Structure 1
Amino acid sequence: MSAFIYVAGKNDDDARDRAFYLLKKYTSATLLQRAIDLYREFLRDFEREIKRPEVEIDYSDDLVRFMRFLQPMEYAEPLLTNPTRRAEAFDMLRDSVKFSSYIWGRKYEELGADDPNDLFYKIGYRRNPEDSIGVFGKANLSSSLLSVALTTINKASVLYLSDKHDARSIKRWTYESIFFDDLPSNAIPPIRFPAQFSKCPPRNEDNTGEVWSGRQIPVTGIWEPWAINPKIGVRCPNYYLVGDTASQYQFEGTDTLEDVRWRLIWKDSRYASGQTPYEEDEYFAPDPSANLNAPIMRKASPGEVCPESGEWFAPNLNNKTFTMNAGEIMPGPELGSTGAVIWYLKPRSDSGSAL
């Protein structure tokens, strides 16, 4: 669950700063590259597992089909930091993310991929993608990252505030939805904010150049919606690509979409040099709360091969401990309730540390 909860009229400026941070992260080249890398890891790990000597069934056709979704990712990859062609990259990634509906679609459901005796299940496949771990957990995390980026762009996806059949739904992004990561089925990766991040630019009080809902956006960047009713004020910013159609806005606490006036507050020039800015280095950095003076420990992620026999523990799984043998696959899930799951080898009593 996100550590930040929006309370109207109480922390509006803080919410604005945090929304600005998330919009930049969700549309960053770093996040998209991370998603592509995870899918490559999934393919590599899947190929390794199906080629084990004890596997009697030929899964090579499945691998070929999975690999087809990598092609649009590889076409998009060099365009992620090309300011004039990022829209093309998003279009290609829109095609590639269809791997999720294929992997967790009717075909593998009917083939019994979630049967505990099936190889797919043994390497992490679960009926619900958000429950998948290990090898298939990487595919699901890749899908979540791509989905959160693409829904930030197209603004057509719906977020549900509960898992009940009559749950309220919200068109992203609003202050009611952008910090809501409680339900994994919404495909929002757990939200973490760094100790320090850049402030959102001031509100644009000038109505020159404002764009009404339904009109074309002239500049790629982050735009802020101004309500027609001045009592409502300015609401949650959103990211637009040049040429997009300005959307309506679903005001917090309501179920209707209304016309607004969008005003530019930040022009996206992050990749003018063709490089990623240094601030993106933090987006997937390890939790900084670790003791820097502690001995260096061996670590491994769910789905990876255990590099050394011994007792392994995971801080983000309430310090759950497993005894693992070298060569075994580290257990999942990929994400715990407090962040990414990393397994650490416990120090041995004879050496005092694990290197």
Structure 2
Amino acid sequence: MSTFMYAAGKNDEDARDRAFYLLKKYTSATLLRRAINLYREFLRDFEREIKRPEVEIDYSNDLVRFLKFLQPMEYAERLLINPARRAEAFNMLRDALDFHSYIWGRKYEELGADDSSDLFYKIGYRKPAEQSFGVFGKANSAADLISMLCATLNKNGRIFFSHPLSKARSAMCWTYESIFFDKLPVNGIPPIHFPARLTKCPPPNKDNKNEIWSGSQISVTGIWEPWAIDPKIGVRCPNYCLAGDTASQYQVEGTDTLEDVRWRLIWKDTRYENGRTPSEEADYFSPDLSANVNTPIMRSALPGQACPESGEWFAPHLCSKTITMVAGEIMPGPEFGGTGSVIWYLTRRPQTPNSN
């Protein structure tokens, strides 16, 4: 969960630096590679589970269908590092993202994938998707990352601030109000972590010569900042835009009104032009983010191993059993359950510190 809170007029410069960092991370080749690797892991784990001798249903057609979504991801990866073809990459990723609506859509709902006796359920399928873990948690996390990448362009996307969503206040992407909000899993925003040292955001662009008004076409791929018409409001949260996009309106913090603004370029995206990945990206996923933003897959352990963390643990292949363990205790159970290898996943940490 992000520990940074935006306070207008008090930490604007820090907010700009952090927003600049997040926008680069959310549109990076490193993020896409992380998403692709998670999806590959999902495919590998799914294939392993459906080929176990005790599985009587033939799921090979499902695997083939899931594999088809990998191709546009891999092709988009090559395009994303080419500044002239980044728009093509984003378009392909929108197609690739269809795997999420397919897996968590009507087909598997009607087939009972969320039934406790179903193989999908036993290997982590849950509805809603953000509650999935294990094998299917990896697929959902891959979708979250790709959605995040695409959301940098979809300025009409919304970040919701509470439940239920039908009554929740929301803000468009990206404003200072929304870019640091990672508290609700339904928003699909992975936990936000900032490095000890941040690259400074370029200073506000006070030159209005090449500014672009809302509704006009963006001329350069990069990070732009919106200047409100009202000079008292000043410059707001930076946004990432592709050349050819239509400059959006902006939802000023604390309001529900979309306003026309003047967009000014502060950073041209020339990453990867020399064939190298910026050193900053090495820390984007360190510590490693695992397969569920709610962290049930952040910790796992095998029978016979020492419990790495106190809390409630769940083994999908051990009769859906949940146990309470204390760190250091030996994880119980056989190596194999009735439906596959036994792996324990941490599903809930203690609510209060252990008095002992």
TM superposition score normalised by structure 1? 0.85
For the residue of structure 1 that corresponds to 2:232, the secondary structure is coil
Q: In the alignment, is residue 118 of structure 1 matched against residue 136 of structure 2?
A: no
How far the C-alpha of 1:330 sits from its partner, in A, is 3.2
Distance 1:302 1:159, change over 3 A: closer
- Which residue of 335, 343, 350 corresponds with 1:330? 343
How big is the shift at 1:263?
Answer: 0.5
User: Percent of aligned positions with the same letter in both sequences?
Assistant: 66
What is the RMSD computed on CA atoms of the aligned residues?
A: 2.5
Match of 2:264 in 1: 263
Alignment of 1:229-248 (within 5 A): 229-248=230-249
Q: What is the 5 A alignment of 1:269-280?
A: 269-280=270-281
Structure 1: give runs of 5+ residues left out of the alignment. 288-300, 338-355
Q: How does 1:18-97 map to 2 (within 5 A)?
A: 18-97=18-97
CA distance in 1 between partners of 2:267 and 2:349 (Å):
34
SS at match of 1:40: helix
Q: What one-letter code is carried by the residue in structure 2 that aligns with 1:67? A: L
Give the letter for the 2:307 counterpart: W
- Is this contact kept in 1: 2:35–2:143, CA < 8 A? yes
Matched with 1:144 is 144
Q: Which moved more, 1:304-313 or 1:113-122?
A: 304-313
The 1:277/1:329 distance shift into structure 2, 3 A limit, reads: farther
Amino acid at match of 1:37: N
SS in 1 for 2:263: strand
Contact preservation (8 Å) 1:38, 1:138 = yes
The Cα of 1:45 is off from its aligned counterpart by 0.5
Structure 1 residues 187 and 320: CA distance shift in structure 2, 3 A? farther
Tell me how far apart the structure 2 counterparts of residues 336 and 67 of structure 1 sit (CA, whole Å).
35
Cα distance in 2, alignment partners of residues 258 and 237 from structure 1: 15
2:107 paired residue number? 107
CA distance in 1, matches of 2:125, 2:309: 21
Superposed displacement of residue 239, structure 1: 0.3
Residue matched to 1:298:
none
Q: Are the counterparts in 2 of residues 33 and 77 from structure 1 also a CA contact under 8 Å?
A: yes
Letter in 2 for 1:309: G
Question: CA 1:329–1:244 in structure 2 vs 1: closer, same or farther (change >3 Å)?
Answer: farther
2:343 maps to a residue whose letter is: M
1:182 and 1:145 map into 2 onto residues whose CA distance is 16
Deviation of 1:267 after TM superposition, in Å, equals 0.8
Give the match for residue 345 of structure 1. Answer: none
AA matched with 1:161: F
Q: Structure 1, residues 313-344: CA drift from partner, whole Å, max 9, x if none? A: 1489999657155563534469999xxxxxxx
Q: CA deviation at 1:90?
A: 1.0
* 1:104 CA displacement: 0.7
Is 1:311 the equivalent of 2:306? yes
TM-score of the aligned structures, taking structure 2 as reference length: 0.85
C-alpha separation in 2, matches of 1:233 and 1:210 = 14
Is the 2:219–2:244 Cα contact (8 Å) retained in structure 1? yes
Q: CA deviation at 1:80?
A: 2.3
2 CA distance for matches of 1:209 and 1:46?
Answer: 51
Corresponding residue of 1:189 = 190
Query: Is the 1:135–1:303 Cα contact (8 Å) retained in structure 2?
Result: no
Distance 1:244 1:316 in 2: 48
CA drift at 1:277: 1.1
How far apart, in 2, do the equivalents of 1:307 and 1:38 lie? 21
1:177 and 2:178 correspond:
yes
Q: 1:26 to 1:329 in 2, by over 3 A?
A: farther
Other structure's SS at 2:308 match: strand
Q: Secondary structure at the match of 1:261?
A: strand
Count of residues in Structure 1 that have an aligned counterpart in Structure 2: 324
* 1:85, distance to aligned residue in structure 2 (A): 1.2
Letter matched to residue 311 of structure 1: A
Q: Distance in 2 between matches of 1:30 and 1:314?
A: 29
CA distance in 1, matches of 2:60, 2:284: 35
- Give, as a single letter, the amino acid of the residue that structure 1 aligns with 2:9: G
Q: Distance in 2 between matches of 1:195 and 1:286?
A: 13
Q: Determine if contact 1:134/1:303 at 8 Å carries over to the other structure.
A: no
* Other structure's SS at 1:219 match: coil
Q: Any idea what the Cα deviations from partners look like across 1:84-139, whole Å, max 9, x if unmatched? A: 11111111011001111111111111111111111001100001111000000000
Structure 2 stretches of 5 or more lacking a match?
289-295, 314-324, 351-356
User: Distance in 1 between the 2:244 and 2:347 partners?
Assistant: 37
